[in-house]
Amino acid sequence: MSWSNYHGHSYYCDGRKAPEEYIPAALEQGMKIIGFSCHAPVPFETGWTMPGDKLPQYLLDIEQLQSKNFNGLLVLKSLEVDYIPEIAGSLHPDILAANLDYVVGSIHYVDRFPSGQHWSIDNSNEEFEQGVAEIFNGNVRSAVSRYFQLQIEMLRYQPPNIIGHMDKIRMHNVVKQHFDEDDDWYVDLVRETMLMAKEKNVIVEINTKYFAKNGLLFPDSKHFKWMFENNIPATINSDAHDPEKLTSGFSQVAKLLMEAGYTKLMEWNDGKFIPMSFNENGIEWH
């Protein structure tokens, strides 16, 4: 038994190392599949997405890794694609032309400041509060609702294969409680998004990026039982920016999913994702 990871970053975006430097770590961690999913370019400065002129070399680097034999380790070519209405998404010509194995689709940007600058919900707590104040007149419920509305729009019109960190906007509650995650309006938004993902055959990743640091999972583990009862397809991803963290938290999260009733995760097999049995030690590969 062994693990996979379909969401990870290299130095082409905001990751720490070159793609080839993740291979020894993947082998050391006993992985079966490693998917590279750098942040796809967007047409404005971000500081963490891949510059547009780097995309061809990134794709070539991953393809070269795919052509090599790494003791049975399968390398997959992907991008984490932002959905920004009329600007970016999985149906953008550059994404379609990349001939990816699969797409991770995420929301990092929610509307714009009065200055025209795109508001990232994935930066500092100060920027989060500034966006709520300036774009949503201080109404955090409106801001959070817009975030989920954009995810549902992405799922409906430009569905990826995997939705990334689908409730990441709650990351700011670690610093200061901006809203109650147990309120009906919030839980309903989370569930509506997951149900749309299921309808569109999109896998909901369990994102472990911050799990070792502060116990955060996206989505929160309190949703796992409901997810199982509603047949939400799931997989475990680390969103690793560092080779050592490719499978960070996987065993613990697998146990949480099993406690909720899950017996299968969605895993790559011969060109598509299918359900495979798992336990805290990894996936039972077909």
Helix (H) or strand (E) holding 284: none
Reported confidence tier of residue 116, pLDDT bands at 50, 70, 90: very high
The mean per-residue pLDDT over the stretch 260-285 comes to: 99
Answer yes or no: CATH 3.40.1350.10 is held by domain 3-283.
Answer: no
Helical spans, DSSP H, in 98-139: 125-135
**How far, CA to CA in Å, does 265 sit from each of 142, 184, 203, 253, 282?**
33, 28, 9, 12, 10
Q: How far is Cα of residue 188 from the mean position of the Cα atoms in its chain?
A: 21
Mean pLDDT of all residues in 181-210: 99
Quick one: pLDDT band at residue 30, thresholds 50, 70, 90? very high
CB 210 within 8 A of CB 216: yes
pLDDT at 256: 99
Specify the DSSP element, H or E, that contains 259. Answer: helix 250-260
> Per residue in 159-173, pLDDT tens?
999 999 999 999 999
Examine the pLDDT at 108 and tell me if it is beyond 90: yes
pLDDT at 252 > cutoff 90: yes
Nearest Cα to Cα of residue 58 among 26, 108, 15: 15
Longest dimension (CA), the chain: 55
**Is a pLDDT exceeding 90 seen at residue 175?**
no
DSSP β-bridge partners for residue 283: 2, 278
pLDDT at 160: 99
What's the whole-number mean pLDDT along residues 98-103? 99
Cα(93)–Cα(78) distance, rounded to whole angstroms?
15
pLDDT > 90? residue 84:
yes
**Nearest alpha carbon to residue 76 among 269, 218, 209:** 269
CA angle in degrees (0–180, nearest 5) for 135-125-134: 15
Measured CA to CA in angstroms, residue 36 lies from 2, 20, 186, 213, 221 at distances of 18, 10, 32, 23, 25
Q: pLDDT above 90 covers what percent of the chain? A: 98
Decide if pLDDT at 148 tops 90.
yes
Here the tokens at position 83 are: 């959905």
> What value, to the nearest 5°, has the Cα angle with vertex 36 and ends 35 and 41?
140
Cα–Cα distance between 175 and 126 in angstroms, integer? 10
How far apart are alpha carbons 142 and 140 in whole angstroms?
5
Report the C-alpha gap between 105 and 39 in whole angstroms.
10
- Rounded mean pLDDT of 119-134? 97
Q: Are strands 162-163 and 102-106 parallel, antiparallel or unpaired?
A: parallel
* For residue 64, pLDDT beyond 90: yes
Q: Which residues contact 41 (CB under 8 A, 6 or more apart)?
A: 49, 50, 51, 52, 54, 55, 94
User: Which SS3 state, helix, strand or coil, does residue 250 take?
Assistant: helix
Query: What's the mean pLDDT when you consider all of the chain?
Result: 98
